[in-house]
Amino acid sequence: MSSQYWGFIKDPLYGYIRITEIERNIIDTQPVQRLRRIRQLSGAEYAYPAANHTRFEHVLGTMYLAGILAQSIPINLSNQEVQRIRFAALLHDVGHAPFSHLFEPLLAKYLGKTHEDMTFWIIAESELSSALRADGFDPSEIGKLAVGRLGNPKQPFLDQIIRSSVDVDKMDFIVRDSYHTGAGYGYVDIFRLIYTMDILDGNLAVDVTAIPTLETFILARLESFRAIYFHRAARAVQIMMLKALEQAKDELDIDRIKTPEAYLALDDYLIWSILKRCKKSRGIMENIEQRKLLKCAYERTFFVKDELFTSVLTNEAVRKQIEEEIATKAKVDPEDVSIDVPSLPSVPYHYAVEIEPMDIPVFLKTKSGEKVSQRLTDLSKIADVLKVFMNVIRVYTKESHRSDVMKAAEAVFGKLQLHDQVSY
């Protein structure tokens, strides 16, 4: 490493995370400290009461894993390069808005940005820039690396450490989210994956000896998505909060955010207070606080690619049209019908409808030490079976409208089979 160690931070997953002096300087900046006030899984606490962890502990864990991976892959990275990777992992989420992914649709609608765009902006133009330069690091390079856009053609694995099918970001949040929710799906021996990774044609690759662990990782991603990120009650809260955010858009003044400092002033506490004060959103927030949640009237899961449902998943105009059709048939206000799909930016780990771990490079090491590329689906029946699309469609409404909306949704989407009626 490129600096003296400052001390340790205790983490419930990894024990003691060692911190260098220059890392402490970056951790103590406002953009990183703000992450203490951004929940990792907003809304999940209404399904899993202990899910109150924040982005702060997640980025510390991601930095820790990034450092281990950077030092364990058999390639000569300098101390400065390892430190740069650790910084990129530490800062990869500084662009998250309040309530994490819940704010994402508003960023896209009013600023034309994603949280990755905001991450690069904050690293390049906030106090982080001068702090990184003071220690000899290029903020632009770290910003690109933090969002997987460094684009070094000779070393694509650098981007893949933080952003790929099997990256340290996913390794941390799958295990961490499972730990804090108690859901139990996220036990994965991530260190087995890390220590068996190598570079194959410039890309991160996993040794075939770790395929059982890789299968566990793939299954953990799928089950965590179903049980945590797309949990019925959690998504009910998130849909209500999205409606509240939209109702209070004038008070939030999102389109007037012109500086990193203005953006960084926003956190969960401030936005919750604004939503409570705003007359248009106050009722929704009071219902959330009293756990008077929307109810799922219809749910259907497809493990095939279907043009109708893919369009519903990806096209907002189509969803709105179908919401109005269901509302008309149910004789309720269109505002009381919401179609929820996993491709929405507000869903943590969204675009999970397409399970894409089959593009993970896998290699077999021969006796001579040669690394031979392999197809994961040829070696793993689990990976082959999961080579599908998972389309989940839900229709939410008020409890008083549940029966009428269910019948209307069945008329539009088709009658539910028994396996569709089983909740998870």
pLDDT tens, position by position, 5-41: 899 999 999 999 999 999 999 999 999 999 999 999 9
Mean pLDDT of 180-205: 92
Please answer whether residues 297 and 401 qualify as being in contact, where contact means their C-beta atoms are separated by less than 8 angstroms. Answer: yes
Average pLDDT, the chain: 91
Find out whether 107 and 84 touch, Cβ atoms under 8 Å: no
Query: Of 405, 387, 388, 384, whose CA–CA distance to 396 is shortest?
Result: 405
Mean pLDDT to the nearest integer, 78-102: 96
Tell me what pLDDT residue 389 has.
Answer: 59
| 228 vs 358, higher pLDDT | 228
User: Tokens 């109005």 map to which residue?
Assistant: 324
Q: Which residues pair with 60 in a beta bridge?
A: none
Query: Beta partners for 203?
Result: 200
Q: How confident is the model at residue 385 (pLDDT cuts 50, 70, 90)?
A: confident
pLDDT in tens, 50-86: 999 999 999 999 999 999 999 999 999 999 999 999 9
In this model, does residue 420 exceed pLDDT 90? no
* Higher pLDDT among residues 308 and 419, named by residue: 308
With 80 as the cut, is the pLDDT of residue 211 above it?
yes
Contact criterion met (CB below 8 Å) for 106 and 97 = yes
Higher pLDDT pick, 185 / 24: 24
Report pLDDT for 307.
61
pLDDT of residue 303: 67
Supply angle C-alpha 73, 77, 82, rounded to 5. 90
184 — pLDDT class (breaks 50, 70, 90): confident
Token readout for 160 is: 């893949």
Whether the pLDDT of residue 421 is over 50: the answer is no
With a cut of 70, say whether residue 218 has pLDDT above it. Answer: yes
Mean pLDDT in residue range 81-95: 98
| Residue 66 buriedness (CB in 10 A; 0-12 / 13-18 / 19+) | buried
Q: Which of 143-157, 178-192, 304-318 shows the lowest per-residue confidence on average (mean pLDDT)? A: 304-318
Q: How far apart are CA 53 and CA 196, in angstroms?
A: 29
159 within 8 A of 135, measured Cβ to Cβ: no
The residue ranges of every structural domain in the chain are 5-233, 294-354+389-424
Q: What is the DSSP letter of 331?
A: T
The yes-or-no verdict on residue 357 having pLDDT over 60 is no
pTM of the model: 0.93
Classified by CATH at the fold level, domain 5-233 comes out as Hypothetical protein af1432 (1.10.3210)
Query: What is residue 308's predicted lDDT score, i.e. its pLDDT?
Result: 64
pLDDT given at position 314:
72
Q: How far is CA 335 from CA 22, 41, 79, 259, 343, in A?
A: 51, 25, 56, 34, 21
Q: Which residues of 118-147 are buried (b: 16+ CB within 10 A; e: fewer)?
A: bbbbbbbebebbebbeebebebebbbbbbb
Give 417's contacts (C-beta < 8 A, 6+ positions apart).
none
What H or E segment, with its residue span, contains residue 249? Answer: helix 249-252
pLDDT at 416 > cutoff 70: no
At 359 the pLDDT is 67
Name the β-bridge partners of 198. Answer: 205
Cα–Cα distance list, 154 to 71, 150, 159, 199, 351 (Å)? 18, 11, 11, 11, 29
**CA-closest candidate to residue 136, choices 293, 2, 255, 251:** 2
At 139, the pLDDT band (50, 70, 90 cuts) reads: very high
Sequence-separated (6 or more) residues with CB below 8 Å from residue 199? 73, 74, 75, 157, 205
Specify the pLDDT at position 387: 63
Q: What is the pLDDT of residues 283-319, one digit of tens each?
A: 999 999 999 999 999 998 876 666 666 667 678 888 9
Alpha helices in 11-114 (DSSP H): 21-27, 30-33, 55-72, 79-90, 104-106
